[in-house]
Structure 1
Amino acid sequence: MGTPLGDFIRTKRDSLQPETLGLPDRSRRRAPGLRRQDLAARAGISVEYLTRIEQGRDRNPSPAVVNALADALSLDAAERAHLRYLAKITGGACSAHTGPAPAPRQVRSTVLDTLRLLEPGIAVVTNRLGDLLARTSTFEAVTRDTGLLDSSAPNLTRYVFTDPRARTVFADWDAVADEQAFDLWLGPAVEHSEWLSAELAPAAGPEFTRRLNRHVVPRRGDLRLNHPAGHALRLRRETLDLTADAQQIVVFLPADEATAAAVEQLRHTGQGRLRAIS
């Protein structure tokens, strides 16, 4: 049985062309990408050890080996961080846990006070599973009528993959779907990510599972929304990590004057109140 770490290494190895690393092109290869033998040589480890890591038979490579593999795969900073994270959760995979379970939805009172200070900005407290735990009134105004907040326990990941309206609302739906699937690897705990993945897989089908297993680190650009009221919004995102809570505050900033004017219009259409969900 494979592991997230082994799957990621194998996926990156398959995506590399030998000539980009200065290696001879072996065009007769049946499998794509970099040979296991070449990667092992670049990382300074044995082929047998690399095979064990990729197949999940060795779950605890040392930090030195992880760093050597990152160098050998020519990973960028974001990919290196993801590799280290996968090594951490793979090494702890044998630890007992209670099995798949939803993540807690409580938000600390001081975090809610911080969110209130961000009014009338567009901000939300969320976790890596996509649970929307609290939001400003302007976030509610901007997402009104999109269907995102229809549930009593709204979840962005579930909305993206199971609500047909999401493909219209998000101008770059594919990029947003990549982000949400990737972030499940960074969920509050393994059992929480397993819970949501198990729920989404049957409903979302291959669009979800393919993205989840690719381990492609997303490039997070501006968020473009097609609001049902007819506004085309472009929003920049700033994320404030609440590491101790496994949560984050995401602040959305208008990227242009047209978006700022549209947000102001939506905000005055219906005055909301700060919402906390627990």
Structure 2
Amino acid sequence: MGTPLGDFVRAKRDSIQPESFGLSDRGRRRSPGLRRSDLATRAGISVEYLTRIEQGRDRNPSPAVLNALADALSLDAGERHHLRYLAKITGGTCAGRRRPAPPDREVRPTVRETLRLLEPGAAYVTNRLGDVLAYTDGFELVMGEIGLLGTGTPNLTRYVFTDPRARTVFPDWDQVADEQVFDLWLGPSAETAEWFRADLAPVAGQEFTRRLHHHLPPPPVPLRLAHPAGHELRWHREKLELRSTDAQQLVVLLPADEATAAAVERLRRRSRGLLRSVS
């Protein structure tokens, strides 16, 4: 049985073309990417030891081995951090048998004040599980009609995998799904994330579980949203890590083109018109 660490090393190795490391193509292969022997040579470890790591039979490689693998795979700073995190949760005992305390849903007053200052922009506070903890009126204007905010505890990850509307709302559904699952490995804690994955897997199905061992971060691309009002919105996302033990982030959605900015303004005018008609 594999481990998060082993799955990541294998996935990263498979994503590398030998030519990018100056290695010659030595004929047809059964699997893509860098050969295990080539990676072992670059890292200065044996093929047998690398095999044990990838297959989950060695769960506690030393920091020196982790650094050697990071160098051999040419990991960037974010990937190196992720590698160390996966080594930590692979070598530790994650969950015990009792459900851990849920992450704190409290958003600091200063963060709520920041959201107020961002009005009428679209911004929200989330954690790595996908909980939507606080948001601006601008975010509600954009997301209120898609069904995400219809529960007392909205969660983007659960919405993406269990609400049939999500595949229509997000034209790039696979990209969004990859992003949400990747984030689960980053917190709020290994124990909480493991419980969340176990809780969601039975209802989310294969589309969720097959992504659990894809540890390569998805490429950053604009978020496309097919709004029920008939607008296609494209957003750049700025994510600001908050000082918190619960992996909270402030996410700001910025129109990626003039068409999106104009569409949002039309939504605002429509919203003001609806409010006048109700009163």
Structure 1 residue ranges without an equivalent (≥5): 272-278
Which residue number in structure 1 is paired with residue 177 of structure 2? Answer: 177
Moved more, 221-230 or 235-244: 235-244
Which residue number in structure 1 is paired with residue 203 of structure 2? Answer: 203
Task: Give the CA deviation at 1:46.
Answer: 2.5
Corresponding residue SS for 1:238 = strand
Which residue number in structure 1 is paired with residue 276 of structure 2? Answer: none
Question: Contact 2:124/2:132 (CA < 8 Å) preserved in 1?
Answer: yes
Which residue number in structure 2 is paired with residue 276 of structure 1? Answer: none
Question: Contact 2:94/2:190 (CA < 8 Å) preserved in 1?
Answer: no
Corresponding residue SS for 2:233 = strand
Alpha-carbon distance between aligned partners in 2 of 1:97 and 1:237, rounded to the nearest angstrom: 37
Task: Give the CA deviation at 1:39.
Answer: 1.8
Change (3 A) 1:94 1:222: closer
Superposed, which structure 2 residues align to 1:49-198 within 5 Å? 49-93=49-93, 98-99=98-99, 102-198=102-198
Structure 2 residue ranges without an equivalent (≥5): 273-279
Which residue number in structure 2 is paired with residue 256 of structure 1? Answer: 257
Change (3 A) 1:65 1:249: same
Question: Contact 1:102/1:195 (CA < 8 Å) preserved in 2?
Answer: no
Question: Contact 1:119/1:137 (CA < 8 Å) preserved in 2?
Answer: yes
Which residue number in structure 2 is paired with residue 218 of structure 1? Answer: 218
Task: Give the CA deviation at 1:104.
Answer: 2.5
Change (3 A) 1:46 1:243: farther
* TM-score normalised according to structure 1 size: 0.87
Change (3 A) 1:256 1:81: same
* TM-score normalised according to structure 2 size: 0.86
Which residue number in structure 2 is paired with residue 274 of structure 1? Answer: none
Corresponding residue SS for 1:117 = helix
Question: Contact 1:126/1:249 (CA < 8 Å) preserved in 2?
Answer: yes
Moved more, 2-11 or 22-31: 22-31
Moved more, 194-203 or 59-68: 59-68
User: What CA deviation, in whole Å up to 9, does each residue of 1:179-209 have, x standing for no partner?
Assistant: 0111111120112211221122122212111
Alpha-carbon distance between aligned partners in 1 of 2:45 and 2:205, rounded to the nearest angstrom: 37
What value does the CA root-mean-square deviation take over the aligned residues?
A: 2.4
Task: Give the CA deviation at 1:144.
Answer: 1.7
Aligned residues: 271
